């Protein structure tokens, strides 16, 4: 059976997105080659990317421009090629279409759609960011693993990782990076 994994950056005060811009500006200080290389290993079994509307639009807007941006790093160009080719699911009740390469829009019946996808052959399905989508998946018991990058910053307000829910988790892996970011991998208890 395929699994659903949530990959999120988290502030020390438990937020996955701020209330500024795309909500991830606070993660930039913590990003470096060490973390990027490690994050690439977390993608080795992923064959489907999952997004909420806002994250999908932000990812499409950014990653589709990287190959044509002279200042892009080789790592960014490689990731742009990967993300262009991977199967993408966007969950939204307001989006009219999903036009990015290999994208499919799911407008309703979220739980039934994901449960059916989990029964099909394939690799890991990973939710990238999309904390509001993660909240919906948690409510339906659809997440098999949480991969969190905990950043040494307090942002004060934003969208929390966990909202109005109690979830018991078991730590299955952790790693501390030189810049103070800590990777934590949890599975439901």
The enclosing domain of 128 has a CATH number of 3.40.430.10
Distance CA 145, CA 156 (A): 26
Distance CA 100, CA 125 (A): 18
User: Is 75 among the domain residues?
Assistant: yes
Distance CA 106, CA 98 (A): 9
User: What is the pLDDT at residue 164?
Assistant: 84
Query: For residue 34, which phi and psi values (nearest 5 degrees)?
Result: -60, -45
Q: At a CB cut-off of 8 Å and minimum separation 6, what does 181 contact?
A: 30, 35, 149, 150, 151, 152
Q: Assign 51 a pLDDT band (cuts: 50, 70, 90).
A: very high
Res 102 pLDDT > 80: yes
Considering only 69-83, 88-102, 120-134, which range has the smallest mean pLDDT?
69-83
User: Is 105 among the domain residues?
Assistant: yes
- 70 burial via Cβ count (<10 Å: 0-12, 13-18, 19+): exposed
Domain count, the chain: 1
Q: How much of the chain exceeds pLDDT 70, in percent?
A: 100
Res 114 pLDDT > 80: yes
| pLDDT tens column, 22-50 | 777 888 887 888 988 898 899 999 999 99
Helix or strand (DSSP H, E) at 6: strand 4-11
Q: Quick check: helix, strand or coil at residue 172? A: strand
User: What is the pLDDT at residue 27?
Assistant: 83
Q: At a CB cut-off of 8 Å and minimum separation 6, what does 142 contact?
A: 4, 111, 114, 115, 118
Which domain does 53 fall in, by range? 4-158
User: Is 163 among the domain residues?
Assistant: no
User: What is the pLDDT at residue 5?
Assistant: 97
């Amino acid at each position: 059976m395929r699994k659903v994994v949530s990959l999120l950056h988290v502030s020390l005060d438990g937020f996955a997105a701020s209330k500024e811009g795309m909500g991830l500006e606070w993660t930039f200080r913590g990003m470096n080659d060490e973390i990027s290389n490690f994050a690439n290993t977390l993608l080795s079994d992923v064959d489907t990317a999952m997004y909420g509307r806002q994250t999908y639009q932000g990812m499409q807007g950014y990653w589709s421009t990287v190959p044509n941006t002279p200042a892009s790093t080789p790592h960014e160009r490689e990731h742009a090629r990967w993300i262009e080719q991977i199967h993408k699911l966007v969950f939204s009740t307001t989006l009219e279409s999903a036009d990015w390469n290999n994208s499919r829009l799911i407008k309703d019946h979220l739980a039934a759609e994901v449960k059916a996808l989990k029964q099909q052959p394939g690799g890991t399905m990973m939710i990238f960011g999309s904390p509001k989508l993660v909240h919906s998946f948690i409510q339906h018991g659809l997440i098999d693993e949480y991969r969190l990058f905990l950043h040494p910053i307090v942002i004060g307000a934003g969208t929390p990782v966990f909202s109005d829910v109690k979830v018991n988790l078991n730590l299955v892996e952790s790693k501390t990076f030189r810049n103070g970011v800590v990777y934590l991998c949890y599975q439901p208890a």
